[in-house]
Amino acid sequence: MRKYAPLRRPPRISVLVRPVILRSKNFLENNDMKMEYVISTWNVPSLPIVGSDARFPVRRIFCVGRNYVEHQKEMGGDGREQPFFFAKSAHDLVPEGGPVHYPPMTTNFHWETELVAVIGTGGYKISSNKADDHIWGYAVGLDMTRRDLQQVGKDKGRPWTFGKDFDQSAPVGPISPASTIGHPKRGRLWLKVNGEFRQNSDIDQMIWSVPEQIAFLTQYYTLEAGDLVMTGTPAGVGPAKPGDELLAGIDGLGELRVQILPPR
Ligand code: MN
């Protein structure tokens, strides 16, 4: 006979789990979660804004390839092919330009001056006639490129990451808000290297317009507020070397200055 009542299985500790309500404002993250991280976090990459002390937080950087006829020719392309994109990390940004070290593992470090469209309102499957409504502003950018490593990618059918997405590969100037300047459809885009013009075109020479690029991109991605789109470069790309000073500009958007330093 048992002295005690048989041990009953201890009752399961029931933890009342309240369903987490994801009140996220956007598709990609839940701003309501309070996280404790095991390493210290970093500052959100950001860009200054013309006429404001506030900054614009940057999420992702999409870049279109071969989007000006003369550049497409110099890169060996022909005709109006479908646009294609690659990406850079937001951590590649060099806000407002400044010193940029000549990067490692390349002997052919190229400049590409570009109009940067800044997404202020995200969207999926945005139609090109609505795309301007999603753009918060514009800036001058440089899609700095390790051309030799990009070429390896092309030759071997490998990603362009090493050629395009590396430290300091995305100098971008301050953002001019569309609420102030509107949505520029034309305007001279130029680059001087050590005072001499090396790129000199107009943003109306794009093969795919900015709205068309956004329409195309959002068939594949949900664009989010904070995303940047680098909209392609005209002809005249070429190799920078330590000691060079690059001065890029687009009418109405100011200038972006970069000094190339020796390798680290
Ligand atoms: Mn480019």
Tens digit of each residue's pLDDT (9 = 90 or more) over 43-65: 999 999 999 999 999 999 999 99
Q: Flag whether 103 is in a domain.
A: yes
Q: Is the pLDDT of residue 2 over 60?
A: no
Average pLDDT, rounded, for the chain: 91
C-alpha 209 to ligand 1 mean position (Å): 14
C-alpha 153 to ligand 1 mean position (Å): 15
Q: Is 194 left (phi over 0), alpha (psi -120 to 50) or beta?
A: left
How far, in Å, CA of 59 to CA of 56, rounded? 10
Q: Flag whether 99 is in a domain.
A: yes
Q: What is the rounded average pLDDT of the residues 109-130?
A: 98
Q: Is the pLDDT of residue 16 over 80?
A: no
The CATH number of whichever domain residue 235 belongs to comes to 3.90.850.10
C-alpha 14 to ligand 1 mean position (Å): 56
| Model confidence pLDDT, tens digit, residues 191-213 | 999 999 999 999 999 999 999 99
C-alpha 67 to ligand 1 mean position (Å): 8
How far, in Å, CA of 159 to CA of 161, rounded? 5
C-alpha 256 to ligand 1 mean position (Å): 16
Q: Flag whether 37 is in a domain.
A: no
C-alpha 231 to ligand 1 mean position (Å): 7
Q: Flag whether 134 is in a domain.
A: yes
C-alpha 15 to ligand 1 mean position (Å): 53
Residue 65 is part of which domain span?
46-261
Residue 237 has a pLDDT of: 97
Other beta carbons within 10 angstroms of residue 148's beta carbon come to 16
Q: Flag whether 18 is in a domain.
A: no
How far, in Å, CA of 162 to CA of 146, rounded? 7
Q: Closest Cα partner for 231 from 68, 46, 79, 47?
A: 68
C-alpha 10 to ligand 1 mean position (Å): 65
Q: What is the rounded average pLDDT of the residues 166-183?
A: 98
Measure Cα distances from 52 to 81, 174, 214, 218 in Å. 39, 10, 26, 29
**pLDDT tier, 7 (very low <50, low <70, confident <90, very high otherwise):** low
Instruction: Please check whether residue 248 is in contact with residue 116, taking contact to mean a CB–CB distance below 8 angstroms.
Output: no
Q: Flag whether 170 is in a domain.
A: yes
Structural domains counted in the chain: 1
Q: Is the pLDDT of residue 173 over 60?
A: yes
Q: Closest Cα partner for 56 from 135, 114, 123?
A: 135
Q: Flag whether 63 is in a domain.
A: yes
How much is the pTM? 0.87
Sign of CA dihedral 119, 124, 127, 130: negative
| Model confidence pLDDT, tens digit, residues 134-151 | 999 999 999 999 999 999
C-alpha 232 to ligand 1 mean position (Å): 5
Q: Flag whether 8 is in a domain.
A: no
**pLDDT tier, 263 (very low <50, low <70, confident <90, very high otherwise):** very high
